[in-house]
Structures are given as C-alpha cells and as structure tokens.
Amino acid sequence: MSQLVQKNWNNNNSIYPNWFITEIFIGEIKTPLMDRREYCECVGIPINTPLWKNEVDGNKNWSKVFKFEPIDIIKCNINLVNMHNEIPTIVHPILYYVFTQQLSLKLEETNYIKILEYVIRQQLKKKGEETY
C-alpha cells in the first residue's frame, strides 16, 4: 500500500483515492520521544529490534521512538481523501511527512482531538445517528 500511496502522491500530488483508515490505535504515552539508541538501552534490547509494526516488513527503523500502553482500538472505515478535504491543515502534514517521507511528526493535542472528533462524527453518520 505504501508504494501506491507514494506513487500517487509523486505522480499526481494527491492522496491515493482508495486509502482508508480501518483502525485507530489509542494509547497512553509513557516516555518522552527519545533517540532509538537511548530507548533501546533504557529497556535493554538490541537497537535493531523492530519497535513498530511496519519495521517488521523491512522498512527503515524509526530514529525517534517512545513507549506507550494500549488503551483501545477503534475499528472504522475513514476515507483519507474525505478527511483531508474536511481538515486539511491537520491531515496533509501527517500524510506527507509520516507516510510519504517516513519522518516523525509531533502533533499538538488539539489536533489529536480534532482527528478523533472527525472519526467519531463519521462513525455516528455510518450508524445513522445525529452529529453536531
């Protein structure tokens, strides 16, 4: 999928139209953002140990990492083109820097809240309930 996303972005400067978020992982951050080497030394694991799901697939390892504990997983079906159209100033940097450039990006807490509000509105619409 990441190759399709990157190819579409590079060729058309647009979001891959069939790109959907199917689940959102919610967790509590337990450590500050750290250099990977520092984190691995703190928890006593080799530096090349996969820490993220996408690192197992042969992608590059993230240079900055943090520890978190899972709280919940929201199952959803969010079209990223539609989400980008509604909240572009939040979605665009995430898609560009994290997914096409594979860089770390710090989001403000207010932006996390706006993303979750968007997801909740979409979930309610899907169920046919009122949204505000």
Q: pTM for this one? A: 0.70
Domain co-membership, 98 together with 46: no
**Coil, helix or strand at residue 109:** helix
Q: 87 and 130 share a domain?
A: yes
Q: Does residue 76 contact residue 123 with C-beta atoms inside 8 Å?
A: yes
User: Tokens 């450039």 correspond to what residue?
Assistant: 101
% of residues, the chain, pLDDT over 70: 92
Other beta carbons within 10 angstroms of residue 116's beta carbon come to: 13
CB 35 within 8 A of CB 41: no
pLDDT in tens, 33-47: 899 999 999 999 999
**Contact (CB, 8 A) for 79 and 122:** no
Q: What total of structural domains would you count in the chain? A: 2
Residues 24 and 44 in one domain: no
What is the DSSP code (8-state) at residue 117?
H
